[in-house]
A and B are shown apart, each in its own frame.
Chain A
């Protein structure tokens, strides 16, 4: 009887060789007994235990940051802002805030930007489109349509924000907070939701077209009046730049109905 395994054919000979086992065990004992390794393992343990605390503090930082003002809304603000998107000509005068770089709660000023209404109106718009498709042509509907619509809306909004941000970057002296810009340019979904509800209730192409044109004009007016607060009017002489600034703002405000028209036409 062989006392040792036949190492020539055994693939695991390196593991079962008694000499190798002794070396492995000795190495393990050396590392465990070495106080330096013990300190290293203790530090690893502290790092892992600290990750949970860091995660909690990171979340606390995010939720207590300035971004919370974008969600500090109440019922009256939501109603007034919705009316403003559908009928902006009712709110005359300057739509500027007291300070463009200080966070203002929407409950204090109806012209302050928020993210609640754009987000809710975006999701409502996507669901209304799905509802419209489900009612008109059920065979075409599948749950992937919800995801597709959502991504199309996000991509078009993202491109619009990028274009306007680039234009503002080329114009000297205009600083626009990106989150504010996202907020201002996505109130369009509120008026688009109203349009979708109108289309679902009144299934008539003529009235639907008139309503679409009205909504697109209202969106252009809304964006024009909102972006006026960022137009360059104080760098050089007032006469020169005031017209230049208003021209740029007018051009940029026409981008919004164009993007909305793309959404309505090529979405389905």
Chain B
């Protein structure tokens, strides 16, 4: 019977570990019997030292720790918040909002617009989604027909995104409606919210379409669109 071999080899306490004898990053060419060692092709001595002692690199520069969401380029919660704030307070929004708007914010706003009346016992999801979709389609065709003279075109999802973000003041109205009873103050607040939504969204459309002399003609259909939601919020 053969003696059992130590699977790790003969353990010699004085023996250096193999990794220090031959660098695993060295390239060995058995045919030409030559070895290209790590660091042979590096020009400067400083970089050569960094190859063997990478801890030095970290000590000179401070590494900023980025959060996982930012590292993965998922900035939706912050983006939605900043865009809603820009719509509510007429602030300048990020440049990406005009070129590549998102739909996550509008979906959140529309769902909250449907959920808030639930607190008063009213279920209006079907009307909100139905009127929103039909209004979006009509506005898409209307806008594109009106801007055709300038040989421009605006896409489906952009209009949906801008209209969705414009519903933010109406969500505020819906929230306040839970606590307020019917009065002239509520009606005045409703008109203010409709005009607020229209003004913020028509500003976005003016920037994109550049129809300065038709500003009111573009704003009026938007006003009608938001008035529909205001009427559903106030009178139901």
Given A73-B146, A75-B213, A119-B138, list of 17 further CB < 8 A pairs? Answer: A63-B145, A63-B148, A72-B149, A73-B214, A120-B221, A120-B224, A130-B235, A131-B231, A134-B231, A138-B182, A141-B235, A143-B127, A143-B232, A146-B228, A146-B231, A147-B130, A147-B131
Number of interface residues, chain A, beta carbon within 8 A: 30
Chain B residues, Cβ within 8 Å of A138: 182, 235
Is there a chain A Cβ closer than 8 Å to B90's Cβ? no
Complex Cα distance A64/B217, Å?
20
**In contact, B221 and A72 (Cβ under 8 angstroms):** no
A110-122 interface bits toward B, Cβ cutoff 8 Å, 1 = contact, 0 = none: 0000001001100
Contact for B224 among A74, A75, A127, CB less than 8 A? A127
Contact for A71 among B130, B145, B220, B234, CB less than 8 A? B145
Main secondary structure of the interface of B (DSSP, over half): helix
Is there a chain A Cβ closer than 8 Å to B86's Cβ? no
Q: Which residue of B lies closest to A60 (CB)?
A: B153
A51-79 interface bits toward B, Cβ cutoff 8 Å, 1 = contact, 0 = none: 00000000110011001101111110010
Main secondary structure of the interface of A (DSSP, over half): helix
**In contact, A127 and B148 (Cβ under 8 angstroms):** no
B219-236 interface bits toward A, Cβ cutoff 8 Å, 1 = contact, 0 = none: 011001001100110111
Is there a chain B Cβ closer than 8 Å to A7's Cβ? no
Is there a chain B Cβ closer than 8 Å to A124's Cβ? yes
Number of interface residues, chain B, beta carbon within 8 A: 27
**In contact, B228 and A120 (Cβ under 8 angstroms):** no
B184 to chain A, nearest CB (A): 11
Complex Cα distance A16/B225, Å?
60
Q: Which residues of A contact B (CB under 8 A)?
A: 59-60, 63-64, 67-68, 70-75, 78, 116, 119-120, 123-124, 127, 130-131, 133-134, 138, 141-144, 146-147
Known A127-B227, A127-B228, A141-B236: A74·B214 in contact at CB below 8 Å? yes
**In contact, A142 and B236 (Cβ under 8 angstroms):** yes
A143 to chain B, nearest CB (A): 4
Chain A residues, Cβ within 8 Å of B228: 127, 146
Q: Which residue of B lies closest to A141 (CB)?
A: B235
Complex Cα distance A59/B148, Å?
11
Known A63-B148, A67-B145, A72-B146: A143·B236 in contact at CB below 8 Å? yes
B177 to chain A, nearest CB (A): 13
**In contact, B216 and A75 (Cβ under 8 angstroms):** yes
B143 to chain A, nearest CB (A): 9
Contact for B144 among A63, A120, A143, CB less than 8 A? A63
A235 to chain B, nearest CB (A): 36
Complex Cα distance A75/B232, Å?
30
